[in-house]
Amino acid sequence: MRTHSLLSSLAGPLFGLGYGLLLLMLWPTEQPYWMLPYGLRFGALLLCPWRYWGWLLGCELLAAGLIDYVSRIPMGWRGYLLGSVPEPLLVAGCLWLLRRTHLRPSLRDPGDVSKLLLSAALIVAITTAWDAGTIAVIHRNGTSELLLQVLGQDLLGNYVSILLLVPLLVMLFRAPPSRNALASLTLDGLLVMLPTLAILLVLSEHAAPQPQFARILSLAPVLFFAFRHGWRGAGLSMMTASVGMSVIDRFGNQMQMPPTAATYLFLAVTGTGALMLGAATDALRRSSDRVAEQNVYLAAVNRRLDRLARQLRDAARGNLQSEENQRRHMAAELHDELGQNLTAIQTHVKLAQSRLQQAGMEDIGASINLILGHMRRALHRVLDDLRPAVLDEFGLLRALDEGPIRDLLRTAGIVYRTELHGDPRLLDESTRTAIYRLVQESATNTVKHAQATEFLLRLRIGERQGGVLAMLDIRDNGTGLPSRIPRGGRGLQGMRDRVTSLGGLFRLRPSLEGFHLRILLRGNMPGSDALEL
């Protein structure tokens, strides 16, 4: 606990000492249009907590005093107080106000980059205006051209220094690259930046305008790094290209190629665009990664939904099979028990017929026989609804073509046409029963509601893509479906549920008149998905 408290108390002085040493190290690099200490000050105050600002500013003022003493600037302490002291305080005050308005040391997206660079430009303009006032007070006899030249150098040099150093500081202390990203940056630096700097060195030895073209060429890889590595690549490539140009300017052929404001203005414009482009690339890459993650998640959800749908279809198929078994059992019980009882009653009535005649009650025996006939026909209809015996006796195709469905439609005065193709034995029992039930329900709806004169049934059964398909097409020429189907009707919904439970496709087709239904079922593959019509 004491060690932690001691380190916490020493953090401010250590930060200040390191900051002051960095300022002393960067002081020899100052030149027209290149003032790296300003960018270091801006980045340090932007990244460090407020509680360390006093140490940073104190160490900077000490370092500035040492530099002024070694450089022996004119006016002595007066020059130090007017020239070196106000600028750090102005930058600190402006950054304090901007950080209070939620200025963040972030380059994650173009919005953050634009906000940070606009803040930097504002602070640079304020400090440059202060320097202009100071120069005007000290050098009252100075020309306006000299004043404008000095202001232009300060304005451009300070902004370029922020542009070069702040992205590197943010990358080092707030958003360090991953190991793979750092390796990729290093590899591209060796393959792209080093050859570019070598070309710049070769062209700098030639006469104008080749050196100017070389400088423009040295900044072209910045855009490549912004596209490939985002704002980190843009920041590192800008620093590398700028250092390379400065080294060549200092040690190269200076008589032919002195540094100009146009060169560093081009650097400022290119660097600003590269940072914006890099931030936009990073934002787009993050968005693509999020979309890819969402796609992976949605694919997993879809797989789970598919499994759940298969389980539900299997459960529904099992329920249908259980229902058919119960129907078969009930039909057998009714046939055996109620049918035998009806036969026994009819037999006893026949045996008692002579006695009824003797008693003058022949009409009672006839009435009982009539009632028994009605009961037997009603029993046959119930048994056929529970389990169509014709399906077991004649098979699917003959049951559809010649069975009770044709009798039902003929009784209602409706012409029944069929087109039946294929081998029903390829289908499992549940699918065959479902086809019969669907046609039976459609015929019943036509008789009850459609006022039709014709009922058309097409059935095709065949093998396709390793499976067995049954295509069912049902039509009539009646009044068609109403615009709003009554809630109480369960016919169509029951048909749809039956098809869905078998993994099939149920579709009511639009028709100018009448009713048109298309159903696709796949047999022998209970868990397979439905195909498109």
- In Å, how far are 343, 434, 456, 458, 499 from 401, measured between CA atoms? 31, 16, 11, 11, 21
For residue 448, the model assigns a pLDDT of 86
For residue 257, the model assigns a pLDDT of 47
Distance of alpha carbon 166 from alpha carbon 290, whole angstroms = 28
Contacts of 369 (CB under 8 A, 6+ apart): 346, 349
| Number of CB atoms found within 10 A of residue 333's CB | 12
For residue 500, the model assigns a pLDDT of 81
Residue 52 has pLDDT above 80, yes or no: yes
pTM of the model: 0.63
The number of CA neighbours under 13 Å toward the Cβ of 345 is 17
DSSP classification of residue 208: T
For residue 386, the model assigns a pLDDT of 65
For residue 463, the model assigns a pLDDT of 86
Q: Residues 28, 34, 35, CA angle at the centre, nearest 5°?
A: 65
Answer whether 331's CB lies under 8 Å from 383's CB: yes
pLDDT, mean over the chain: 80
Q: What is the mean pLDDT of residues 104-133?
A: 90
Residue 126 in tokens: 């304020």
First to last CA, the chain: 75
Q: What is the mean pLDDT of residues 328-338?
A: 67
Nearest to 81 by CA among 70, 93, 65: 65
* Residue with token string 């020429």: 477
- 304-307 long-range contacts (CB < 8 A, ≥24 apart) are 306/529
Residue 451 in tokens: 């006022």
CATH superfamily of 394-523: Histidine kinase-like ATPase, C-terminal domain (3.30.565.10)
For residue 75, the model assigns a pLDDT of 60
E strand residue ranges, 149-289: none
Query: What count of residues does the chain have?
Result: 533
Q: What is the mean pLDDT of residues 140-165?
A: 77
Answer whether 21's CB lies under 8 Å from 148's CB: no
Delimit the domains of the chain by residue range. 1-168, 394-523
Best-predicted range by mean pLDDT (82-91, 194-203, 235-244, 275-284): 275-284
pLDDT tens across 344-355, in order?
Answer: 777 777 777 777
The helix or strand, by DSSP H or E, that contains position 461, with its residue range, turns out to be strand 454-464
Nearest to 196 by CA among 175, 224, 176: 224
Residue 209 has pLDDT above 60, yes or no: no
For residue 6, the model assigns a pLDDT of 60
User: Helices marked H in 334-361 — which ranges?
Assistant: 339-351, 353-358
Distance of alpha carbon 335 from alpha carbon 165, whole angstroms = 96
pLDDT tens across 456-504, in order?
Answer: 999 999 888 778 899 999 999 888 877 666 554 557 887 888 888 788 8
For residue 165, the model assigns a pLDDT of 93
Residue 162 has pLDDT above 90, yes or no: yes
Answer whether 156's CB lies under 8 Å from 33's CB: yes
Top-confidence residue, 415 or 243:
415
| Number of CB atoms found within 10 A of residue 208's CB | 9
Residue 199 in tokens: 């070309």
Contacts of 256 (CB under 8 A, 6+ apart): 207, 208, 211
DSSP string, 237-265: HHHHHHHHHHHHHHHS-TTT----HHHHH
Distance of alpha carbon 432 from alpha carbon 149, whole angstroms = 95
Q: Residues 331, 333, 336, CA angle at the centre, nearest 5°?
A: 105
Q: What percent of the chain has pLDDT over 70?
A: 79
For residue 254, the model assigns a pLDDT of 46
Residue 393 has pLDDT above 80, yes or no: no
DSSP classification of residue 51: G
For residue 64, the model assigns a pLDDT of 85
* 3-class DSSP assignment, residue 392: helix
For residue 378, the model assigns a pLDDT of 75
For residue 488, the model assigns a pLDDT of 43
Contacts of 213 (CB under 8 A, 6+ apart): 203
Answer whether 105's CB lies under 8 Å from 174's CB: yes
Quickly state the pLDDT bin for 415 (edges 50, 70, 90): very high
* 3-class DSSP assignment, residue 148: helix
Residue 104 has pLDDT above 70, yes or no: yes
Q: What is the mean pLDDT of residues 16-45?
A: 86
Residue 320 has pLDDT above 60, yes or no: yes
Read off the amino acid at residue 457: L
Top-confidence residue, 17 or 524:
17
- In Å, how far are 428, 440, 441 from 422, measured between CA atoms? 14, 20, 22
* 3-class DSSP assignment, residue 459: strand
Top-confidence residue, 527 or 167:
167
Q: Are strands 454-464 and 505-508 parallel, antiparallel or unpaired?
A: unpaired
Distance of alpha carbon 43 from alpha carbon 26, whole angstroms = 14
Quickly state the pLDDT bin for 508 (edges 50, 70, 90): confident
For residue 334, the model assigns a pLDDT of 67
The helix or strand, by DSSP H or E, that contains position 196, with its residue range, turns out to be helix 194-204
Distance of alpha carbon 244 from alpha carbon 238, whole angstroms = 10
Q: Secondary structure of the chain: what % helix, strand, coil (to 5)?
A: 75, 10, 20
Answer whether 40's CB lies under 8 Å from 163's CB: no
Residue 7 in tokens: 């380190």
Separation of CA 187 from chain center: 32
Top-confidence residue, 144 or 191:
191
